[in-house]
Chains A and B, each alone.
Chain A
Amino acid sequence: MGPHDAVTALLHYAAKRLLFLAPIALGVATVVFVLLRLVPGDPAQVLAGPEATPDVIAQLRVKFGLNQPVLIQYGFFLGRLLHGDLGLSYRSGLTVTQEIGHRYLATLILAASATALAVGVGVPLGLAAGTHRDSVRDRMAMLVALVGICAPSFWIGLVLQYWIAARFNLLPMIGGGGMAHLILPSVTLGLYSLASLARITRAAVVNTAQRDYVRTARSKGLGMPFIIRRHILRNALLPILTSIGLEFGFLMTGAVVVETVFAYPGIGVLLVQSILSRDYALVQGLVLFIALSYVLVNLLTDLLYALTDPRVSYQ
């Protein structure tokens, strides 16, 4: 397959995946729409917030067509969505998109750096463990990884915050600001993924190392580093890559807890605050936003997967 064909094939694949994901995205929007209608009480009052006066509520009812049949409301809802109109947060008076705005970037950065940490440390750890199976190094690493997936992130965060930031003042206590403010939250958030990736990498390595062609290579006298690079890594890459994509999505929601601990100005804290203050327009917008981002990330991971795996045919 020449390069030109490869690109076209990839684009076809991308289009197919998009086609597959579009109904999912629609489904997500529908679920969110339904969920909001399940909140007990008058939907207009619900959207307007606990402090709204009767005329504000009446205005809202007209604006969102809440006196119309449900299906029409659904249509309006989808239409507004396509225009990027997610409603108004009653507490601040800003539109939901404005509220999400720069905070989304902050959470994205947090999730990205946590992912970078998880990959940058977790994968090499798993590699080292997998290639030195059953050694002390392996057992220790896997024990630590095991505890890593059992420890709640809020606890790790609090412990780190107390010891490193408060007691010894080595790093800032709360988030928002330059790189220093990003370190503790990223480490806290990334720990679970780090542990998880280490275990997955190790398993993938062990799996691949057992394959015949690796045994053949070893019997030929080729060194392990070469074999790792050439064969093991390439084949182990696939499950690792899919995991990274999944991890990123989970990190977006895991950020909710970490942002609370570190007062980090992202959408996680916003989500919790809006739920507790019954700011349903904001809740709806945030849930939609996060879910749709996750769908997008999955799409990108799919494409990456397709790119790297020569066995995947673009059918």
Chain B
Amino acid sequence: MRRGACGVVLVLALLSLLAGGPATAQSGALVVAIDSDISSLDISDAATFNTGVFLGINVFDRLFEYGPGGLVPKLATAWSTSPDGLTWTFHLRKGVKFHDGTPFDADAVKFNFDRLLRTPQLRQSAKLRGVVRVETDGPYTVRVVTDRPLPALVGNLVHPAAGAIQSPTAVKDKKFPVGTGPFLLKEWVPGDHILLEANPNYWDGAPNVKRIFIRLVPEAGTRVNLLRSGQAHISVALLPIHAKELEGTPGVRVVAPKSAGWRFVGLNNSKKPFDNVAVRQALNYAVDKQAIVEKLFLGLTRAADSPYGSAMWSFIGGNGYPYNPTKAKELLAQAGYPGGFEATYLAAPTDAPLAAEVAQALQAYLGAVGVTMHIRSMEPAVLLQEVFKPMADNKVEMYQYWYGGADPDTLRILLDSREWPPGRNGSFYKDPAVDSLFEQGATTANSAKRKAIYQDVQRQVMKSAPWIFLFEERRMDGVRTNLRGITYIQQDVGILDMRRASF
């Protein structure tokens, strides 16, 4: 018996030697637990939020970024727009090198922008829509020429993925990711982890943290427990219940930045009964968003009274739909559906916090007014493929989605009639008034006028209800208190910035 026990221990010890590996990578590193994997090492083809946050921000720089006081120069030291608004001139920083030694210069910027313009398959290419050509004027000056005034260009250039500048040499050799940023990518094991190492030659000073170990932990409860036990220093995408649980836990704090992002139920406006605005409004009255916010999200976000989240510039609230199931039933009856109808809702539970619970709550609320909603759950990649099929092949009726951006023009991608699939307007929404407002907003340089235009957009969109508006999409992250220098870039849903972290 004793021999048997010895044998077991010996075997286990041998096995553990073989099993060793990433443990050593973790020592001394900043450990981050994330909810979903990066989608690709080619940052210009990034498909998910996490790709931008963890790869885009750390391994690459952009021309500028949002800071507490406004735009902060990064790879561009100064910039200006011509009086007619059609030419943007950027003066670039000197003495910067990519991780592979290639010098950063105007040609590099031109290469990146040209690549986005010429390769529509790249998922970030849509962000440069409106740019006609890119010219260099000496090694440190770049001119971007657009076909109309494009104030939204700023928002796209600060985008973690779309605005990232890659090394032309590396891209030509198909080596990804090579940027100018404070960290290099040491290792990516898809579905498991990402290992970043500090770039000692970073032009803005080497980072304090030598290594960042980003672990994929799809389950929220596990992420929280890792944070609580100190096995992770940062855990992202926590649930509201965890925020409550962590209250009063020494050594941990929860950060929930105000957000410009929003979650909604997309409705296929080209299919009956969703082609009827009364039906869409009825559905909005049928769902008690306040209860969802208070009970599922424990009051940690706010119910949608605008298509934008409250941190979006030009945000105006007060146009929401209060909970009114009686009115919902009336509207349905008026629209010709007194007995309700049946529809299928595509959900992607792993794509957003509490998505499964929200789906089931929706099912219950809609059921109460006679609408039978069937839930089909799937992986995000599959949902995207189904939702953004061109109209002829598109069988989707209702779907889960959330979105965000740095500039109000970002809504155009979801609601402009020119962006029907294969674009991102999965609801096949078409309102000429709104289209024209988008057009104006995109080309008006005057700040005050622009704000007014987008406020009109918000009012009009809320009235015509292309979606069931739900709530502001807020991130909730947990951070150990012994970690300093963690900030959030105030755009989109709030972008985690670990570059200046230190213990």
Q: 25 A-B Cβ contacts within 8 A? A: A50-B384, A50-B386, A91-B190, A109-B19, A119-B4, A127-B1, A161-B225, A165-B229, A169-B229, A172-B231, A173-B225, A173-B226, A173-B229, A173-B231, A174-B215, A174-B226, A176-B21, A177-B19, A177-B21, A177-B26, A181-B23, A182-B15, A263-B216, A277-B379, A278-B382
Instruction: Give the number of chain A interface residues (Cβ < 8 Å).
Output: 45
Binds A, one of B6-14, B178-186, B251-259: B6-14
B342 / chain A contacts, CB cutoff of 8 Å: none
Contact B5 A120 (CB under 8 A): yes
Contact B379 A116 (CB under 8 A): no
**B218 interface hit (Cβ, 8 Å):** yes
**A249 interface hit (Cβ, 8 Å):** no
Q: How far is the CA of A186 from the CA of B11 in the complex (A)?
A: 13
A113 / chain B contacts, CB cutoff of 8 Å: 11-12, 15
A127 to chain B, nearest CB (A): 8
B167 to chain A, nearest CB (A): 20
Q: How far is the CA of A91 from the CA of B385 in the complex (A)?
A: 13
Contact B385 A51 (CB under 8 A): yes
**B475 interface hit (Cβ, 8 Å):** no
Contact B7 A120 (CB under 8 A): yes
B219-244 CB mask vs A (1 if < 8 Å, else 0) is 10010011011110000000000000
A93-117 CB mask vs B (1 if < 8 Å, else 0) is 1100001000001100100110011
Binds B, one of A6-14, A23-31, A268-276: A268-276
Contact A53 B121 (CB under 8 A): yes
Q: How far is the CA of A265 from the CA of B5 in the complex (A)?
A: 28
B16-30 CB mask vs A (1 if < 8 Å, else 0) is 101111110010000
**A92 interface hit (Cβ, 8 Å):** yes
**B192 interface hit (Cβ, 8 Å):** yes
A45 to chain B, nearest CB (A): 10
A143-176 CB mask vs B (1 if < 8 Å, else 0) is 0000000000000000001100110010011101
Contact A173 B20 (CB under 8 A): no
Chain A, range 272-301, C-beta contacts under 8 Å to B: 273, 276-278
B19 / chain A contacts, CB cutoff of 8 Å: 106, 109, 177-179, 181-182
Among B7, B191, B193, the one with the most A-chain Cβ atoms within 10 Å of its Cβ is: B191
Q: How far is the CA of A178 from the CA of B19 in the complex (A)?
A: 6
Please give the residue numbers on chain A whose beta carbons come within 8 Å of chain B beta carbons, in ascending order.
49-51, 53, 91-94, 99, 105-106, 109, 112-113, 116-117, 119-121, 123-124, 127, 161-162, 165-166, 169, 172-174, 176-179, 181-182, 186, 263, 265, 269-270, 273, 276-278
B8 / chain A contacts, CB cutoff of 8 Å: 116-117, 119-121
**B132 interface hit (Cβ, 8 Å):** no
B226 / chain A contacts, CB cutoff of 8 Å: 173-174
Chain B, range 369-398, C-beta contacts under 8 Å to A: 378-379, 381-382, 384-386
Given A99-B190, A173-B229; A263-B382 close (CB under 8 Å): no
Q: How far is the CA of A95 from the CA of B142 in the complex (A)?
A: 40
Given A177-B21, A265-B192; A50-B385 close (CB under 8 Å): yes
Given A276-B378, A277-B379; A174-B222 close (CB under 8 Å): yes
A109 / chain B contacts, CB cutoff of 8 Å: 15, 18-19
Contact A177 B23 (CB under 8 A): yes
Contact A179 B229 (CB under 8 A): no
Contact A178 B381 (CB under 8 A): no
B5 / chain A contacts, CB cutoff of 8 Å: 120, 124
